[in-house]
């Protein structure tokens, strides 16, 4: 290949000076045919192949390689053939006698030709993309996987991130409610992948059949939905980028927080801080460009959506209701009744008709039991023999005064003392545990050990009046008699010791 400088001198001599091609060849010591090429190209054109290269050892196996690569398209990405594995199969199954390098070069060229090319897109204001991601976090001293929801506004690049214990319907809805509140409005449309939280089924013509809860959420906030192609994460590349950004920046190093609420406060602070960033290619900050999105948003409705998963249920003979594999207790008076369960991210609310009968902290443990001891006290009052083996009361942390009261009641009344102790516990169905504990403490101090005395003292505490505990009204209550120490009695004890 001749140098560019020689190209210029030859072309000048022929085109400007007017010498012949043969004369130019003699002057510069090159073949006249080379002079013709220099006149056709202003710079060296490089090597040009007149025929495709031949691969005598590989050409007979090209069809097999292409068939393997085509079959791999329907396999998981981590379970597709490597170039080395294709070479081994050609060698062992088809008698290929060539080397591994020629196979690797051909496979690489084929895969590069098959890689998808994308069209740059513009992003109009007022639209959003949403997705879930996964990461590790230490919550209350326990390392666990968290599922974080991300919503991105492609026009302004503003983002919202919140973490949840699981990727569930109630987390999906709660995240939307929080995101709309964070952005100060409802996007015109939101682009999703084909998550089962929103899409119950993809019909034959490509239309999506929405889930009931997603339909309720959409009807409440009046945003349009859009869905990407199945398996094509690049259709919502902006939010995919936000998921990666949050995982690399907001969740590295692994966060240590006391609760999910604390973690989410930290993530929200990071999202607000990011509004001050100025990204490449933009003159204004993310927060300044967010105003363009907000100008196109719908207004928030007067009240937020009730972000929960609703399911019917039935109370078992053990007064338990099962939700997502965990059993939650309800008062025993509702045994065998039909109920409605509302599952929130952090709580479970159970209703019978229009009445809420139980409210529990949500458990994400498998096959767990969540009891409220108060739900079983009415039944234990009738079946007092089960008091010491009642599972709902195991681990119930009561002040020490309650244990003292039970010992005194049982010492005086035996089995009936157990029943009266349960009646004292039932006061917590109406009064606070603090007030009942104060009443128990006051009863023990006065030597009035009994349910009526405790109830009277609790009412006096609440009504802020002095107790008037007339022991003549309660003749069955024990009275505490404290006698003055007698010197004679003391001497008798000493005499007894000498003997």
Higher pLDDT, 497 or 66: 66
**What tokens were used for 471?**
């022991």
Residue 336's pLDDT band, with cuts at 50, 70 and 90, is very high
Please state, in angstroms and rounded to a whole number, the distance separating the CA atoms of residues 50 and 251: 56
Is the peptide bond preceding residue 44 cis, with omega within 30 degrees of 0? Answer: no
d(CA 429, CA 358): 12
Residue range 148-160: average pLDDT?
Answer: 95
Mean pLDDT lowest among 111-120, 222-231, 248-257, 290-299: 111-120
Nearest Cα to 381, choosing from 344, 347, 348, 429?
429
Q: Is the pLDDT reported for residue 386 higher than 90?
A: yes
- For the segment 230-240, the average pLDDT, to the nearest whole number, is 75
**143: buried, middle or exposed (CB in 10 Å: 19+, 13-18, 0-12)?**
exposed
- Residue 1 confidence (pLDDT) above 50: no
The 3-state DSSP class for residue 158 equals strand
Residue 415: per-residue pLDDT? 86
**pLDDT at residue 134 greater than cutoff 60:** yes
For 186-216, letters b (16+ CB in 10 Å) and e give bbbebbbbeeebbbeeeeeeeebebbebbee
Min mean pLDDT across 98-102, 110-114, 298-302, 401-405 is at 110-114
Q: Tell me which of 58 and 480 has the higher pLDDT.
A: 58
What is 127-296's CATH superfamily? Ribonuclease H-like superfamily/Ribonuclease H (3.30.420.10)
In contact, 146 and 262? CB cutoff 8 Å: no
Domain limits of the chain?
Answer: 4-40, 59-114, 127-296, 310-370, 377-463
Q: Tokens at residue 193, please?
A: 């992948």
DSSP count for the chain of H helices, then E strands: 17, 15
> Residue 472 above 90 pLDDT?
no
pLDDT for position 170:
95
Q: pLDDT, tens digit, for every residue of 21-42? A: 899 889 888 998 888 888 888 8
Give the 3-state secondary structure of residue 164. strand
Residue 412's pLDDT band (boundaries 50, 70, 90)?
confident
Task: Please name the helix (run of DSSP H) or strand (run of DSSP E) that holds residue 191, with its range, or none.
Answer: strand 189-192
Average pLDDT for 94-118: 86
Torsional sign, CA 287, 292, 298, 299: positive
How confident is the model at residue 39, as a pLDDT? 87
Q: How far apart are CA 272 and CA 129, in angstroms?
A: 18
Asked whether 217 and 225 are in contact (CB, 8 A), the reply is no
Q: Which pLDDT score is estimated for 75?
A: 85
Q: 311: pLDDT confidence band, cut at 50, 70 and 90?
A: very high
Q: Which of 128-137, 441-450, 462-471 has the lowest average pLDDT? A: 462-471
pTM for the whole structure: 0.73
Burial of 55 (0-12, 13-18, 19+ CB in 10 A): middle
Mean pLDDT value across the chain = 89
The average pLDDT across 191-201 equals 91
Lowest-pLDDT choice from 2-16, 328-342, 388-402, 481-495: 481-495
pLDDT value at 233 more than 70 = no
Residue 89 burial by Cβ neighbours in a 10 Å radius (0-12, 13-18, 19+)? middle
Residue 81 has pLDDT above 70, yes or no: yes
Indicate if the pLDDT at residue 2 is higher than 70. no
pLDDT at 272: 95
Please list the alpha-helical segments (H only) found in 246-332: 260-274, 286-296
Task: Enumerate the β-bridge partners of residue 130.
Answer: 151
Bridge partners for 309 per DSSP: 343
How many percent of the chain have pLDDT more than 70?
93
Which conformational region is residue 334 in: left (phi greater than 0), alpha (psi within -120 to 50 degrees), or beta? Answer: alpha
Least confident among 35-44, 150-159, 217-226, 405-414: 35-44
């Amino acid at each position: 290949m001749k140098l560019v400088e020689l190209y210029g001198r030859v072309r000048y001599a022929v085109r400007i000076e007017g010498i012949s091609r043969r004369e130019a060849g003699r002057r510069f010591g090159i073949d006249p045919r080379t002079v013709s090429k220099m006149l056709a190209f202003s710079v060296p054109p490089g090597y040009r192949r007149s025929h495709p290269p031949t691969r005598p050892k590989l050409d007979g196996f090209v069809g097999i390689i292409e068939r393997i690569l085509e079959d791999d398209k329907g396999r998981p990405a981590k379970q597709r053939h490597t170039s080395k594995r294709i070479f081994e199969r050609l060698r062992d199954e088809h008698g290929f006698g060539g080397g591994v390098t020629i196979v690797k070069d051909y496979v690489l060229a084929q895969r590069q030709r098959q890689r998808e090319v994308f069209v740059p897109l513009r992003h109009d204001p007022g639209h959003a993309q949403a997705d879930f991601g996964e990461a590790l976090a230490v919550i209350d001293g326990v390392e666990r996987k968290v599922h974080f929801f991300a919503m991105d506004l492609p026009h302004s690049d503003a983002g919202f991130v919140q973490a949840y214990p699981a990727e569930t319907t109630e987390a999906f809805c709660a995240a939307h409610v929080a995101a709309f509140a964070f952005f100060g409005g409802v996007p015109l449309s939101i682009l999703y992948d084909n998550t089962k939280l929103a899409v119950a089924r993809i019909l034959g013509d490509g239309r999506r059949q929405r889930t009931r809860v997603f339909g309720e959420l959409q009807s409440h906030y009046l945003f349009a939905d859009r869905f990407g192609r199945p398996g094509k994460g690049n259709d919502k590349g902006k939010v995919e980028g936000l998921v990666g950004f949050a995982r690399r920046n907001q969740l590295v190093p692994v966060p240590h927080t006391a609760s999910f609420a604390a973690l989410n406060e930290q993530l929200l602070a990071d999202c607000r801080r990011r509004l001050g960033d100025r990204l490449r290619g933009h003159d204004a900050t993310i927060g300044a460009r967010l105003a363009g999105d907000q100008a196109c948003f719908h207004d928030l409705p007067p009240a937020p959506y009730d972000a929960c998963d609703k399911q019917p249920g039935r109370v078992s003979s053990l007064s338990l209701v099962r939700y997502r594999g965990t059993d939650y207790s309800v008062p025993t008076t509702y045994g065998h009744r039909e109920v409605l369960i509302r599952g929130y991210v952090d709580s479970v609310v159970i209703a019978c008709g229009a009445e809420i009968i139980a409210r529990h902290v949500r458990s994400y443990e498998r096959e767990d039991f969540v009891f409220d001891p108060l739900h079983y006290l009415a039944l234990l009052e009738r079946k007092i023999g089960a008091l010491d083996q009642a599972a709902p009361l195991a681990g119930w942390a009561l002040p020490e005064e309650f244990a003292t009261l039970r010992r005194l009641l049982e010492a005086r009344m035996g089995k009936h003392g157990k029943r009266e102790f349960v009646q004292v516990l039932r006061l917590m169905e109406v009064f606070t545990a603090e007030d009942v504990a104060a009443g128990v403490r006051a009863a023990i101090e006065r030597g009035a050990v009994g349910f009526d005395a405790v109830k009277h003292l609790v009412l006096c505490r609440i009504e802020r009046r002095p107790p008037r505990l007339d022991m003549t009204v309660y003749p069955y209550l024990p009275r505490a008699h404290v006698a003055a120490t007698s010197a004679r009695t003391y001497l008798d004890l000493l005499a007894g010791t000498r003997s």
